[in-house]
Amino acid sequence: MTHFIPRYEFRLFGLEEIDSVIATLRAKGIAGKERHISEIYLMTAGNTINNIKIRNKLLDIKTLVKHDDTLEQWNPQEVGQFPLSKEKILSEIFPALGVEAPLLDKDVYTLKEFMQELILVDPDIIVALTEKERYAYSFNDCICEYANVRINGALLRTVAFESENPDLVKAAIRAIDIKDYHKNTNYPKAIKRVLGLEIDYDINNFF
């Protein structure tokens, strides 16, 4: 099994409200690779600590290890490449989703079978198809990026700062014009807001 070192992360989502942060990162950072990526996120209302996604038939789960008032630390774990065994689906994926697993009548599931027979038929699981245009940067010894992200076709922008060393991330965001209203928001939280998977108590004050 691949061994990963959990990184600390600060990430923002928005549109115009994060433009100044992206502009500063582009001005001060060192540009790296540009990547276009399609991913499937599996979302449930009850799960707040597991980020479950499929890219190129590889399912991985990032788990929130700890968080303070500024940063979150996420531990990535590769569950494996489809086709996946019934045991892995039952012991790793459904527990991470936090919903009851259905009866599995196959020993092994292709991605198509997994999606059609186990995911899309479950009313408690919502699928978010994402298309990301990611622009990598290096800044203050942190791994950074900004990205245009389409969530089921609707566009958000994101900008992120990551490192194994939390002090480097904190120093980076101090140097990048982060405002008080810029709140650290991870991918599952941002996707849940678009999907409406969290009860939106502020909606009554929307007008």
Binding site for another protein (CB under 8 A): 14-15, 43, 120, 126-129, 150-156, 193-196, 199-200, 203-204, 206-207
Find the shortest distance in angstroms from Cβ 181 to another protein: 14
- Burial track 102-129 (b if 16+ CB lie within 10 A, e otherwise): eebeeeebebeebbebbbeebeebbebe
How many angstroms separate the CA atoms of 188 and 193, rounded? 9
How many angstroms separate the CA atoms of 45 and 190, rounded? 13
Tell whether omega for the bond before 188 is within 30 degrees of 0, i.e. cis. no
Find the shortest distance in angstroms from Cβ 75 to another protein: 26
State which residue, 2 or 204, has the beta carbon closest to another protein.
204
State which residue, 84 or 119, has the beta carbon closest to another protein.
119
Question: Token pair of 23, please?
Answer: 């502009």
Find the shortest distance in angstroms from Cβ 14 to another protein: 8
Among candidates 184, 156, 164, 141, which has minimal Cα distance to 74?
164
State which residue, 76 or 113, has the beta carbon closest to another protein.
113
State which residue, 136 or 194, has the beta carbon closest to another protein.
194
State which residue, 140 or 185, has the beta carbon closest to another protein.
185
Burial grade of 96 (CB within 10 A; 0-12, 13-18, 19 or more)? buried
Burial grade of 176 (CB within 10 A; 0-12, 13-18, 19 or more)? buried
Find the shortest distance in angstroms from Cβ 122 to another protein: 12
Work out the number of other CB atoms within 10 angstroms of the CB of residue 62. 23
**Secondary element (H or E) of residue 113:** helix 111-113
State which residue, 124 or 164, has the beta carbon closest to another protein.
124
